[in-house]
């Protein structure tokens, strides 16, 4: 827990404190811009809005702005911690709004526990925002606040704590009942928990078709029933107070039940209770981070149950992020005056229908899965499925129009295109890789195990299930550094090359590899005292699945041992380095930016093939451009002709690839120019895999794009190695190390799947590299 605590604190305080910022959407670079943005030019839109307040949606950010409002009286599982203490949660909510649906947020913490103060505060915000998301407000105040605001305001108001779980789990319920063949009108549903989420979810189930009299709700005092003489009853719980003479506890309520919905605390249910349920029970254990009962506990007592939790490491994750960003997106885009029951129902049914669609490889590959199909383990879409935006937002928007609460109209065909453009192909790329890694973690060795950044990253990888880390270094030093940073070393393997029992074995292995290249046995013995040589031997001998190093070393110091010990794949014959550059709206792969100084056309073809495979392996259809200063022969020069020949060679090798060149960089990103001036080009869309003529060009380009272009660089991803070796950028921070570890694990997973299939073209002539000749 100490690790998690320090990681969370460091995450929030590093760089600019907090998680959100206001970013200008118009230029302000000269006097003219200043005169338009502020006085005197700003007076013109003011006057237009004065004449017609609806013009605020035309001239201001109101239509894409949501206020996330709390008073801090029910924050997560922390309880009433106060408004200011709840601010990190509200900022996090803003982050999710922006990341998943491109909605801007003001987080607003109201320092009052009086619900009427919260109501009045929100009412006064109406001119400012396009919608209000209520968050972490205690029950029953949250019901009163939302009901009042919905009656008195003309912008959508939504309490996610109430309705988010209801909408998402409602979709899971519909699909689970379809899988087991039960009629929603006849099933018996039992709730553990009677807070805002439980009551709202139960009401939503009633609207979906569950009979109210078939719902039993339990709070901390037991089953809520008619005539119960306790002070914990309120008008909202009373809706589910039924006349029952037998069931007074959760265990008694679950006898013969078809559905269990847990919105309470860890361990609230046990195997004996589940065993007493009806055939093919549906169990939604949604307490976080530990559910009321785990899937393993359920499977121990019966094999016919369908289980969903709130966790990402189990199938059927019920996560509110599947709802609120997309519901608000649809509501804002038609200027809805409220989020009504029809819109919530539309969101539920859209999620349920999407789960029955074929899951594209680009989605399932983010979770390390293949051939995902609707069924017991896939009831609702994955949170990082970009199609959710394209299904839920239009469904909500259309429901708003159909129910008469929309003030604008959208054409659904063009609306989906607009939504897709908001996120771009790079959305969630790193999260997807981390999810894939966590599906089947691998053993990753870190030669720089004494570095605090490596220790922190290893702890995160351990805690998040991304990898099984092995730290190389002196145990006493690693323990001291970890203790100073309050980091736990539990479940982290530490190996010291200087006294390891495997040292002699690895020295003999290295000498056997290098004895005909001038290395003596004594030199091999000394080399394995170096962490990178020792770690490379671990990977080469199968004692580790991947190596990640370089945080404190120059590139050649890291890659030379790997090449000497592990070497290039015999069918590749060439090692190259690919960088993923993640921009706000696109993802671009650049190669070779790390190894080959001046590759030949034949080697560039292999570099292009390897980079295209990297793109495809993470779910992106590669479109390869071989770059030059010339467009399709416009300049006759050996450098340009080399790139043209490389493109031709790659087309011959894999006719299914979209590849062309030589071309200039701007041409590769201008589909209109390609159609107009070069209609013969295979490239019809923007390129996403860029192959440069030499190391200088590629290295300069990726560094300029990351420094000046705002791209996040992930890499280098080494291709062509016999086993997974990945080199960090010198000075990489903790998150960059975690990202590269995820890449290394996914690389190892892919190699297992390929089971030794060809990793590249047959070996060809060598080329000068940044390394000395080995």
The set of catalytic residues is 38, 93
User: From CA 66, how far away is CA 134, in angstroms rounded?
Assistant: 10
CA distance to 457, 706, 712, 732, per residue, from 430 (Å):
15, 16, 10, 16
Q: Are 548 and 737 in contact (CB under 8 A)?
A: yes
Query: Could you report how far apart the first and last alpha carbons of the chain are, in Å?
Result: 46
3-state secondary structure 395-447: HHHHHHHHCCCCCCCCCHHHHHHHHHHHHCCCCCHHHHHHHHHHHCCEEEEEC
Q: At 712, is the secondary structure helix, strand, or coil?
A: strand
- Number of residues assigned to the chain: 774
Q: Would you say 388 and 419 are in contact if contact means Cβ atoms under 8 Å apart?
A: no
C-alpha angle 395-401-404 in degrees, rounded to nearest 5 = 135
φ, ψ dihedrals at 131, nearest 5°:
-170, 165
Q: What are the distances in angstroms from CA 178 to CA 390, 411, 682?
A: 24, 32, 45
The tally of CA atoms less than 13 A away on the side-chain side of residue 128 is 14
Q: Which helix (H) or strand (E) holds 455?
A: helix 452-463
List the one residue out of 250, 325, 292, 302 whose CA is nearest residue 100. Answer: 325
Helix or strand run (H / E) with residue 587: strand 587-591
Task: Give the CA distances from residue 476 to residues 85, 487, 549, 693, in Å, rounded to whole numbers and listed in that order.
Answer: 38, 14, 21, 47
Alpha carbons 201 and 193: distance in angstroms, whole number: 11
Angstrom distance (rounded) from CA 189 to CA 206: 10
Rounded CA separation 668/659 (Å): 11
- How many Å apart are CA 218 and CA 522, to the nearest integer? 72
What helix, strand, coil percent values describe the chain, rounded to 5?
Answer: 45, 15, 40
Q: Which segments of 485-530 does DSSP mark as H helices, in order?
A: 503-514, 521-527
The closest alpha carbon to 352, from 237, 184, 191, belongs to 184
Contact 106, 146 (CB under 8 A): no
Do 176 and 340 contact (CB within 8 A), yes or no? no
Tokens 């086993």, residue located: 723
The SS3 call for residue 690 is strand
Cβ neighbours, 10 Å, residue 637: 12
Dihedral through CA 604, CA 606, CA 610, CA 611, nearest 10? 20
Two structure tokens written together for 50 = 């004065």
d(CA 567, CA 578): 17
Task: In whole angstroms, give the CA distance from residue 433 to residue 744.
Answer: 10
Show the DSSP H helices in 618-756 as ranges. Answer: 638-653, 665-668, 671-677, 695-707, 734-754
**Which residue, 170, 97, 167, is CA-closest to 133?**
97
């Amino acid at each position: 827990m100490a690790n998690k605590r320090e990681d969370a604190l460091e995450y929030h305080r590093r760089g600019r404190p907090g998680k959100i910022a206001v970013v200008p959407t118009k230029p302000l670079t000269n006097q003219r811009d200043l005169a338009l943005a502020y006085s005197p030019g700003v007076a013109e839109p003011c006057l237009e809005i004065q004449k017609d307040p609806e013009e605020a949606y035309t001239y201001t950010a109101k239509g894409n702005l949501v206020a996330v409002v709390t008073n801090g009286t029910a924050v997560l599982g922390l309880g009433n911690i106060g408004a200011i203490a709840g601010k990190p949660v509200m900022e996090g909510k803003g982050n999710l709004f922006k990341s998943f649906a491109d909605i801007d947020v003001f987080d607003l913490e109201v320092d009052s526990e009086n619900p009427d103060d919260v109501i009045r505060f929100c009412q006064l915000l109406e001119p400012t925002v396009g919608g209000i998301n209520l968050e972490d407000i205690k029950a029953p105040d949250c019901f009163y606040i939302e009901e009042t605001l919905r009656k008195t305001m003309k912008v959508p108001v939504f309490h996610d704590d109430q309705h988010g779980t209801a909408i998402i789990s409602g979709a899971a319920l519909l699909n689970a009942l379809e899988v087991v063949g039960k009629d929603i009108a006849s099933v018996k549903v039992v709730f553990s928990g009677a807070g805002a989420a439980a009551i709202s979810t139960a009401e939503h189930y009633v609207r979906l078709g569950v009979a109210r009299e078939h719902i039993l709700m339990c709070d901390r005092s037991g089953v809520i029933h008619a005539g119960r003489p306790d002070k914990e009853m309120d008008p909202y719980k009373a809706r589910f107070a039924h006349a029952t003479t037998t069931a007074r506890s959760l265990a008694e309520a679950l006898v013969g039940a078809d559905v269990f919905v847990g919105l309470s605390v860890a361990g609230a249910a046990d195997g004996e209770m589940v065993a007493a349920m009806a055939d093919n029970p549906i169990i939604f254990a949604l307490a976080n981070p530990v559910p009321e009962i785990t899937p393993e506990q359920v499977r121990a007592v019966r094999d016919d149950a369908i289980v969903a939790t709130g966790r990402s490491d189990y199938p059927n994750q019920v996560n509110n992020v599947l709802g609120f960003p997309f519901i608000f997106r649809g509501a804002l885009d038609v200027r809805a005056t409220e989020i009504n029951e029809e819109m919530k129902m539309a969101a539920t049914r859209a999620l349920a229908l999407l789960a029955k669609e074929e899951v594209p490889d680009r989605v399932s590959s983010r979770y390390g899965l293949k051939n995902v199909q609707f069924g017991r383990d896939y009831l609702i879409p994955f949170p990082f499925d970009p199609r959710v935006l394209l299904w839920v937002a239009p469904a909500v928007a259309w429901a708003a129009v159909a129910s008469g609460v929309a003030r604008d109209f959208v054409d659904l065909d063009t609306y989906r295109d607009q939504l897709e453009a908001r996120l771009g192909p790079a959305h969630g790329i790193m999260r997807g890789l981390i999810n894939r890694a966590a599906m089947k973690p691998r053993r990753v060795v870190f030669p720089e195990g004494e570095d605090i950044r490596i220790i922190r990253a290893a702890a995160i990888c351990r805690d998040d299930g991304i990898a099984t880390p092995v730290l190389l270094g002196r145990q006493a030093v690693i323990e001291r550094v970890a203790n100073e940073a309050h980091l736990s070393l539990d479940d982290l393997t530490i190996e010291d090359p200087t006294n390891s029992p495997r040292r002699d074995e690895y020295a003999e292995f290295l000498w056997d590899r290098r004895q005909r290249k001038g290395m003596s046995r004594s030199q091999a013995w000394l080399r394995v005292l170096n962490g990178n040589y020792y770690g490379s031997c671990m990977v080469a001998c199968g004692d580790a699945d991947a190596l990640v190093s370089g945080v404190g070393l120059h590139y050649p110091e890291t890659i030379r041992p790997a090449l000497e010990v592990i070497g290039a794949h015999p069918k590749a014959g060439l090692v190259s380095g690919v960088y993923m550059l993640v921009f706000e709206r696109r993802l671009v792969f650049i190669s070779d930016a790390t190894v080959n100084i001046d590759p030949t056309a034949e080697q560039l073809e292999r570099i292009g093939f390897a980079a295209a495979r990297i793109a495809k392996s993470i779910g992106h259809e590669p479109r390869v451009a071989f770059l030059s200063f010339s467009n399709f022969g416009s300049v006759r020069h050996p450098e340009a002709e080399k790139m043209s020949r490389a493109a031709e060679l790659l087309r011959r090798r894999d006719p299914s690839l979209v590849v062309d060149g030589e071309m200039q960089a701007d041409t590769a990103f201008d589909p209109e120019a390609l159609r107009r001036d070069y209609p013969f080009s295979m490239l019809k869309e923007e390129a996403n895999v860029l192959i440069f003529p030499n190391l200088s060009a590629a290295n300069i380009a990726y560094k300029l794009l990351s420094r000046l272009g705002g791209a996040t660089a992930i890499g280098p991803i080494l291709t062509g190695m016999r086993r997974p070796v990945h080199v960090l950028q010198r000075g990489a921070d903790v998150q960059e190390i975690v990202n590269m570890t995820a890449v290394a694990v996914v690389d190892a997973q892919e190699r297992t799947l390929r089971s030794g299939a060809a990793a590249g073209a047959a070996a060809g002539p060598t080329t000068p590299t940044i390394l000395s000749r080995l």
